[in-house]
Chain A
């Protein structure tokens, strides 16, 4: 058996197991002999910030938050594009200006559509 090429590996594996399990076993033994467990309802509470938890964690959020977030994201990205456009504005040709105008107008159209749909009204 000792001549097997995997013998040293097996020895190391057992040593690694003992390295992990011995402290756990000692801790368990210590708890059994000396330190009795005294659980109670307050100690076993799930929430640990000092307050008692209320209700269920599975709650629904309003979809209005999602719409606001997506409109904000679009105009945030627009601002990222507008900044280099504004910096390079004096050196730009007609084609570049038209392309930017189309981009901005598309977003304005989106905003107008959202407005018409009543998304911006918080209800």
Chain B
């Protein structure tokens, strides 16, 4: 039973607040996203700058960087994910409590960036964990991270509490574990998590 948007505004003018459980839930969640204190490379410097007074991430309720994955809601993959670091990143993501979100910050985190042709850099963290927002840039400016943050807030705002399209943490059937890759002979094994992303077949 949804209340008409115009009616809600009209009631608001009269001092009557009308809301639904879903709206209240999403309002609370989107305004208290605690990121994990976790920096990988140079993008982390921009991430730190975003939290400082000039860009002030605290305006969005996200200044509380948590040093433990148990207390964090969001992981900012800020920088190059090497193949040595990728298992740790995936394990930390697994250890976060639901609901959890990921922002892939910078060219390296989304695709491998300038090191894409290298042998030891993961070509995008979205091979192993579901990424909610990708930000390009090398490194992205703090404004770009703020934009990603607002995008994530909008995404959370649009999530439904029940029904088919409800997010993973509300769905008992949805996959909760993301397998941690191991160091193989030449590459990480498996090369990707098929539930998240499949490696495209290159036709030569």
Q: Which residues of A contact B (CB under 8 A)?
A: 34-36, 38, 40, 42-43, 45, 48, 50-52
Contacts and interface: CB of A to CB of B under 8 A. Distances in A.
Contacts of B162: 34
B172 A48 contact: no
Given A34-B161, A35-B98, A42-B91, A48 B69 contact: yes
The interface residues of chain A, by DSSP majority, are classed as loop
21 contacts: A34-B162, A36-B171, A36-B172, A38-B98, A38-B177, A40-B94, A40-B176, A40-B177, A42-B94, A42-B177, A43-B94, A43-B177, A45-B91, A45-B95, A48-B68, A48-B70, A48-B92, A48-B95, A50-B88, A50-B91, A50-B92
B108 interface: no
Please classify the interface of chain B as helix (H, G, I), strand (E, B), loop, or mixed, using the class held by over half of its residues.
helix
Interface of B: 68-70, 87-89, 91-92, 94-95, 98, 161-162, 169-172, 176-177, 180
Contacts of A38: 98, 172, 176-177
Nearest to B171: A36
Contact of A42 (B68, B95, B170, B171): B95
Nearest to A41: B177
Contacts of B92: 48, 50
A35 B95 CA distance: 17
For the complex of A and B, list the 7 residue pairs with the smallest distance between their C-beta atoms, beginning with the closest.
A38-B176, A50-B88, A36-B172, A42-B94, A40-B177, A50-B92, A50-B91
Contact of B170 (A35, A48, A50, A52): A35
A115 B20 CA distance: 78
